[in-house]
Amino acid sequence: MTTAPIVPAPVTVRVPAKVNLELLVGPRRDDGYHHLATVFHAVSLYDDVTVSVADEWGVSVSGPLAAGVPLDGKNIAIRAARLLASRYDVDPVQVDIRKGIPVAGGMAGGSADAAATLVGLDHLFDLGLGREELEEVGAELGSDVPFLVAGGTAVGSGRGELLAPVLARGTYHWVFALGEGGLSTPAVYAECDRLRGDEDVPEPVANPALMAALRSGDPHELAPQLANDLQDAAISLRPALGDVLASGMEFGALGGIVSGSGPTVAFLVEDNEAGIDLAVALTASGAVRDVRRASGPVHGAHVLQRRVD
Protein backbone atom coordinates (compact mmCIF):
# COMPACT_ATOMS: atom_id res chain seq x y z
CA MET A 1 0.00 0.00 0.00
CA THR A 2 1.33 3.46 -0.88
CA THR A 3 0.61 6.40 1.37
CA ALA A 4 -0.15 9.87 -0.01
CA PRO A 5 2.53 12.47 0.78
CA ILE A 6 1.64 14.64 3.73
CA VAL A 7 0.65 18.09 2.53
CA PRO A 8 1.35 20.76 5.15
CA ALA A 9 -1.70 22.69 6.39
CA PRO A 10 -2.10 26.26 5.09
CA VAL A 11 -0.54 29.02 7.19
CA THR A 12 -2.09 32.47 7.72
CA VAL A 13 0.19 35.37 8.58
CA ARG A 14 -1.02 38.75 9.80
CA VAL A 15 1.16 41.70 8.82
CA PRO A 16 0.82 45.38 9.77
CA ALA A 17 1.12 48.60 7.78
CA LYS A 18 3.81 51.17 8.53
CA VAL A 19 3.89 54.90 8.94
CA ASN A 20 7.17 56.82 8.90
CA LEU A 21 7.33 59.03 11.99
CA GLU A 22 10.29 60.68 10.33
CA LEU A 23 11.38 60.30 6.72
CA LEU A 24 14.52 62.25 5.89
CA VAL A 25 15.56 61.96 2.26
CA GLY A 26 19.24 62.50 1.51
CA PRO A 27 21.10 62.69 -1.79
CA ARG A 28 20.36 60.31 -4.64
CA ARG A 29 22.75 57.35 -4.71
CA ASP A 30 24.46 55.96 -7.80
CA ASP A 31 22.00 53.03 -7.83
CA GLY A 32 19.06 55.48 -8.13
CA TYR A 33 17.85 55.07 -4.54
CA HIS A 34 18.11 57.92 -2.04
CA HIS A 35 20.01 57.83 1.24
CA LEU A 36 17.34 57.72 3.93
CA ALA A 37 17.14 58.20 7.66
CA THR A 38 13.71 57.08 8.70
CA VAL A 39 11.81 55.99 11.77
CA PHE A 40 9.36 53.21 10.93
CA HIS A 41 6.37 52.55 13.16
CA ALA A 42 4.12 49.50 12.68
CA VAL A 43 0.39 50.22 13.09
CA SER A 44 -2.67 48.02 13.48
CA LEU A 45 -3.97 48.06 9.90
CA TYR A 46 -3.41 44.55 8.63
CA ASP A 47 -3.23 42.33 5.58
CA ASP A 48 -3.83 38.63 6.23
CA VAL A 49 -1.83 36.40 3.92
CA THR A 50 -2.54 32.66 3.64
CA VAL A 51 -0.03 30.40 1.92
CA SER A 52 -0.88 26.85 0.88
CA VAL A 53 0.82 24.16 -1.18
CA ALA A 54 -0.54 24.16 -4.76
CA ASP A 55 0.15 22.62 -8.17
CA GLU A 56 1.26 25.95 -9.55
CA TRP A 57 2.09 29.46 -8.34
CA GLY A 58 -1.00 31.59 -7.82
CA VAL A 59 -2.25 34.65 -6.00
CA SER A 60 -5.66 36.05 -5.08
CA VAL A 61 -6.57 39.33 -3.42
CA SER A 62 -9.82 40.04 -1.56
CA GLY A 63 -11.35 42.72 0.66
CA PRO A 64 -12.68 46.24 0.07
CA LEU A 65 -9.17 47.60 -0.64
CA ALA A 66 -8.19 44.94 -3.19
CA ALA A 67 -8.50 47.07 -6.34
CA GLY A 68 -5.27 47.78 -8.20
CA VAL A 69 -3.27 44.86 -6.88
CA PRO A 70 -1.71 42.73 -9.66
CA LEU A 71 -2.86 39.10 -9.85
CA ASP A 72 0.11 37.78 -11.81
CA GLY A 73 3.85 37.36 -11.34
CA LYS A 74 4.14 41.12 -10.72
CA ASN A 75 2.50 40.70 -7.31
CA ILE A 76 5.32 41.18 -4.83
CA ALA A 77 4.01 38.31 -2.66
CA ILE A 78 4.56 35.86 -5.52
CA ARG A 79 7.94 37.43 -6.22
CA ALA A 80 8.82 36.83 -2.55
CA ALA A 81 7.72 33.20 -2.76
CA ARG A 82 9.72 32.58 -5.93
CA LEU A 83 12.79 34.25 -4.46
CA LEU A 84 12.63 31.94 -1.45
CA ALA A 85 12.06 28.96 -3.79
CA SER A 86 15.24 29.84 -5.69
CA ARG A 87 17.20 29.31 -2.48
CA TYR A 88 15.37 26.71 -0.42
CA ASP A 89 13.29 23.58 -0.86
CA VAL A 90 9.96 25.25 -1.55
CA ASP A 91 7.11 23.84 -3.72
CA PRO A 92 4.72 26.07 -5.68
CA VAL A 93 2.22 27.83 -3.43
CA GLN A 94 -1.07 29.65 -3.66
CA VAL A 95 -0.95 33.02 -1.86
CA ASP A 96 -4.31 34.46 -0.77
CA ILE A 97 -4.18 38.06 0.42
CA ARG A 98 -6.94 39.79 2.36
CA LYS A 99 -6.18 43.52 2.04
CA GLY A 100 -6.73 45.82 4.99
CA ILE A 101 -3.81 48.12 4.06
CA PRO A 102 -4.50 50.85 1.48
CA VAL A 103 -2.91 50.08 -1.91
CA ALA A 104 -0.25 52.54 -3.15
CA GLY A 105 -1.04 54.59 -0.04
CA GLY A 106 2.47 55.10 1.39
CA MET A 107 1.86 52.44 4.04
CA ALA A 108 3.96 49.68 2.45
CA GLY A 109 1.09 47.28 1.73
CA GLY A 110 3.01 45.42 -0.98
CA SER A 111 6.12 45.14 1.17
CA ALA A 112 3.92 43.87 4.00
CA ASP A 113 2.59 41.07 1.78
CA ALA A 114 6.13 40.14 0.78
CA ALA A 115 7.17 39.99 4.45
CA ALA A 116 4.09 37.90 5.34
CA THR A 117 4.77 35.49 2.48
CA LEU A 118 8.36 34.94 3.60
CA VAL A 119 7.26 34.28 7.19
CA GLY A 120 4.40 32.05 5.95
CA LEU A 121 6.64 29.91 3.75
CA ASP A 122 9.20 29.57 6.53
CA HIS A 123 6.44 27.99 8.64
CA LEU A 124 4.71 26.06 5.85
CA PHE A 125 7.88 24.24 4.85
CA ASP A 126 9.58 24.24 8.26
CA LEU A 127 12.62 26.00 6.83
CA GLY A 128 13.76 27.17 10.26
CA LEU A 129 14.95 30.55 8.97
CA GLY A 130 15.60 33.10 11.68
CA ARG A 131 14.23 36.60 11.60
CA GLU A 132 17.60 37.94 10.47
CA GLU A 133 17.67 35.68 7.44
CA LEU A 134 14.08 36.55 6.53
CA GLU A 135 14.95 40.25 6.79
CA GLU A 136 17.97 39.70 4.57
CA VAL A 137 15.94 38.00 1.84
CA GLY A 138 13.26 40.68 2.31
CA ALA A 139 15.76 43.48 1.62
CA GLU A 140 16.25 42.08 -1.90
CA LEU A 141 12.55 42.58 -2.57
CA GLY A 142 12.17 46.12 -1.26
CA SER A 143 13.55 48.61 1.26
CA ASP A 144 10.51 48.37 3.58
CA VAL A 145 10.23 44.56 3.64
CA PRO A 146 12.72 43.90 6.50
CA PHE A 147 10.82 46.32 8.77
CA LEU A 148 7.50 44.57 8.10
CA VAL A 149 9.15 41.31 9.24
CA ALA A 150 10.44 43.05 12.39
CA GLY A 151 7.58 45.42 13.34
CA GLY A 152 7.60 47.69 16.39
CA THR A 153 9.42 51.01 15.98
CA ALA A 154 12.83 51.08 14.29
CA VAL A 155 15.30 53.40 12.62
CA GLY A 156 16.02 52.56 8.99
CA SER A 157 19.16 53.75 7.21
CA GLY A 158 20.81 53.00 3.86
CA ARG A 159 17.83 52.98 1.51
CA GLY A 160 15.70 52.14 4.58
CA GLU A 161 16.58 48.44 4.79
CA LEU A 162 19.24 48.63 7.54
CA LEU A 163 17.31 48.47 10.80
CA ALA A 164 18.08 49.35 14.40
CA PRO A 165 15.39 49.05 17.08
CA VAL A 166 14.20 52.16 18.91
CA LEU A 167 13.29 52.30 22.57
CA ALA A 168 9.68 53.52 22.46
CA ARG A 169 7.31 53.66 25.40
CA GLY A 170 3.54 53.48 25.31
CA THR A 171 0.96 53.15 22.59
CA TYR A 172 0.16 55.88 20.08
CA HIS A 173 -3.26 56.38 18.52
CA TRP A 174 -3.67 57.29 14.87
CA VAL A 175 -6.34 58.27 12.40
CA PHE A 176 -5.51 57.61 8.74
CA ALA A 177 -7.25 59.59 6.00
CA LEU A 178 -7.19 57.44 2.87
CA GLY A 179 -6.57 59.15 -0.47
CA GLU A 180 -8.58 58.93 -3.67
CA GLY A 181 -6.46 56.43 -5.61
CA GLY A 182 -2.76 55.87 -4.98
CA LEU A 183 0.45 57.76 -5.61
CA SER A 184 3.44 56.09 -7.25
CA THR A 185 6.42 56.04 -4.88
CA PRO A 186 9.01 56.57 -7.69
CA ALA A 187 6.94 59.52 -9.01
CA VAL A 188 6.95 61.15 -5.55
CA TYR A 189 10.74 60.76 -5.20
CA ALA A 190 11.16 62.21 -8.71
CA GLU A 191 9.00 65.19 -7.73
CA CYS A 192 11.07 65.63 -4.55
CA ASP A 193 14.24 65.75 -6.72
CA ARG A 194 12.57 68.20 -9.10
CA LEU A 195 11.50 70.54 -6.27
CA ARG A 196 15.01 70.44 -4.79
CA GLY A 197 16.67 71.33 -8.08
CA ASP A 198 20.40 71.98 -7.53
CA GLU A 199 20.02 72.40 -3.76
CA ASP A 200 22.82 70.76 -1.74
CA VAL A 201 21.23 67.91 0.21
CA PRO A 202 23.01 66.75 3.37
CA GLU A 203 23.33 63.13 4.55
CA PRO A 204 20.23 62.51 6.65
CA VAL A 205 20.52 61.72 10.36
CA ALA A 206 17.58 60.66 12.55
CA ASN A 207 16.55 63.47 14.90
CA PRO A 208 17.55 62.87 18.58
CA ALA A 209 14.52 64.94 19.72
CA LEU A 210 12.24 62.37 18.07
CA MET A 211 14.03 59.54 19.91
CA ALA A 212 13.59 61.40 23.21
CA ALA A 213 9.89 61.93 22.46
CA LEU A 214 9.45 58.20 21.78
CA ARG A 215 11.11 57.37 25.10
CA SER A 216 8.69 59.70 26.88
CA GLY A 217 5.63 57.84 25.59
CA ASP A 218 3.80 61.18 25.40
CA PRO A 219 1.95 61.88 22.12
CA HIS A 220 2.14 65.62 22.84
CA GLU A 221 5.96 65.36 22.71
CA LEU A 222 5.93 63.17 19.62
CA ALA A 223 3.53 65.31 17.57
CA PRO A 224 5.88 68.26 16.85
CA GLN A 225 8.70 65.88 15.86
CA LEU A 226 6.82 64.17 13.01
CA ALA A 227 8.63 64.99 9.75
CA ASN A 228 8.49 63.85 6.15
CA ASP A 229 10.76 65.19 3.40
CA LEU A 230 8.41 63.69 0.78
CA GLN A 231 5.41 65.65 2.04
CA ASP A 232 5.91 68.72 -0.18
CA ALA A 233 6.37 66.47 -3.22
CA ALA A 234 3.21 64.48 -2.41
CA ILE A 235 1.24 67.72 -1.95
CA SER A 236 2.69 69.13 -5.16
CA LEU A 237 1.35 66.06 -7.04
CA ARG A 238 -1.91 65.95 -5.05
CA PRO A 239 -2.69 69.48 -3.73
CA ALA A 240 -5.85 68.27 -1.93
CA LEU A 241 -3.57 66.63 0.65
CA GLY A 242 -2.75 70.08 2.03
CA ASP A 243 -6.46 70.64 2.74
CA VAL A 244 -6.79 67.22 4.39
CA LEU A 245 -3.86 68.02 6.69
CA ALA A 246 -5.37 71.41 7.59
CA SER A 247 -8.79 69.83 8.31
CA GLY A 248 -7.33 67.18 10.61
CA MET A 249 -5.43 69.77 12.63
CA GLU A 250 -8.49 72.00 12.81
CA PHE A 251 -10.52 69.03 14.13
CA GLY A 252 -8.10 68.46 17.02
CA ALA A 253 -5.25 66.21 15.85
CA LEU A 254 -2.00 66.67 17.81
CA GLY A 255 0.05 66.27 14.64
CA GLY A 256 -0.44 65.37 11.01
CA ILE A 257 1.86 64.07 8.32
CA VAL A 258 1.69 62.51 4.87
CA SER A 259 2.45 58.81 5.34
CA GLY A 260 5.60 57.85 3.38
CA SER A 261 5.06 58.80 -0.25
CA GLY A 262 1.32 59.34 0.35
CA PRO A 263 -1.46 59.89 -0.38
CA THR A 264 -2.60 58.52 3.02
CA VAL A 265 -2.42 61.23 5.72
CA ALA A 266 -1.64 60.10 9.28
CA PHE A 267 -2.97 62.05 12.26
CA LEU A 268 -1.62 61.49 15.76
CA VAL A 269 -4.28 61.89 18.46
CA GLU A 270 -4.25 61.89 22.25
CA ASP A 271 -6.10 58.63 22.86
CA ASN A 272 -8.66 56.21 21.49
CA GLU A 273 -11.56 58.55 22.27
CA ALA A 274 -9.91 61.45 20.44
CA GLY A 275 -9.36 59.09 17.50
CA ILE A 276 -13.08 58.34 17.30
CA ASP A 277 -13.91 62.06 17.47
CA LEU A 278 -11.44 62.95 14.72
CA ALA A 279 -12.55 60.09 12.47
CA VAL A 280 -16.18 61.20 12.81
CA ALA A 281 -15.34 64.88 12.19
CA LEU A 282 -13.22 64.14 9.10
CA THR A 283 -15.86 61.86 7.63
CA ALA A 284 -18.76 64.23 8.38
CA SER A 285 -16.90 67.19 6.84
CA GLY A 286 -16.57 65.36 3.53
CA ALA A 287 -12.85 66.32 3.53
CA VAL A 288 -11.82 62.68 3.12
CA ARG A 289 -13.24 59.65 1.34
CA ASP A 290 -12.48 57.11 4.02
CA VAL A 291 -10.74 56.92 7.40
CA ARG A 292 -9.19 54.15 9.49
CA ARG A 293 -8.24 54.23 13.16
CA ALA A 294 -5.20 52.30 14.37
CA SER A 295 -2.59 52.18 17.10
CA GLY A 296 1.08 51.39 17.25
CA PRO A 297 3.60 50.02 17.71
CA VAL A 298 2.48 46.47 16.89
CA HIS A 299 4.34 43.28 16.03
CA GLY A 300 5.66 42.55 12.55
CA ALA A 301 4.49 39.63 10.36
CA HIS A 302 3.33 36.79 12.63
CA VAL A 303 1.55 33.48 12.17
CA LEU A 304 -2.12 33.87 13.02
CA GLN A 305 -3.36 30.36 12.67
CA ARG A 306 -2.44 27.08 11.12
CA ARG A 307 -5.52 25.33 9.85
CA VAL A 308 -5.68 21.65 10.76
CA ASP A 309 -8.08 19.80 8.43
Query: For the chain, how many residues are written?
Result: 309
Contact flag: residue 75 with ligand ATP (CB under 6 A): yes
* Burial track 46-63 (b if 16+ CB lie within 10 A, e otherwise): bbbbbbbbeeebbbebee
Rounded to a whole number of angstroms, the minimum distance from the CB of residue 11 to ligand ATP is 17
Among 10, 16, 100, 110, binds ligand ATP (CB under 6 A): 110
3-state helix, strand, coil split of the chain in percent (to 5) is 35, 30, 40
Question: Of the two residues 96 and 122, which places its CB atom closer to ligand ATP in the complex?
Answer: 96
CB of 164 to ligand ATP, least distance (A): 19
Q: Does residue 111 interact with ligand ATP by CB under 6 A?
A: yes
CA distance 299 to 278: 25
Among left, alpha and beta (phi > 0; psi -120 to 50; other), residue 13 is: beta
18 carries an active-site annotation? yes
Among the options 47, 96, 144, 229, which is catalytic?
144
Residue 198 and residue 304: Cα distance in Å, rounded? Answer: 49
Q: Return the number of the residue (123 or 159) whose C-beta is nearest ligand ATP.
A: 159
Work out which of 22, 48, 113, 229 binds ligand ATP, going by CB under 6 A: 113
Could you say whether residue 137 binds ligand ATP (CB under 6 A)?
A: no
Check residue 266 for interaction with ligand ATP (CB under 6 A): no
- The nearest distance, CB 111 to ligand ATP, in angstroms, is 5
| Secondary structure string (H, E, C) spanning 179-208 | CCCCCCHHHHHHHHHHHHCCCCCCCCCCCH
Answer for which of 53, 85, 103, 162 binds ligand ATP (CB under 6 A) is: 103
In angstroms, the CA 181 to CA 24 distance is 25
When binding is defined by CB under 6 A, the residue of 10, 100, 106, 156 that contacts ligand ATP is 106
198 a catalytic residue: no
Nearer to ligand ATP, 79 or 173 (CB): 79
Shortest reach from residue 115's CB to ligand ATP, in Å = 11
Q: Binding to ligand ATP by residue 96, rule CB under 6 A? A: no
Number of Cβ atoms within 10 Å of the Cβ of 238:
18
Sequence-ordered list of residues with C-beta below 8 angstroms from that of 300, at least 6 positions apart, any chain: 15, 16, 42, 115, 147, 148, 149, 150, 151, 152
Residues of this chain that bind ligand ATP (CB under 6 A):
68-70, 74-77, 97, 103-111, 113, 144, 182, 185, 260-261
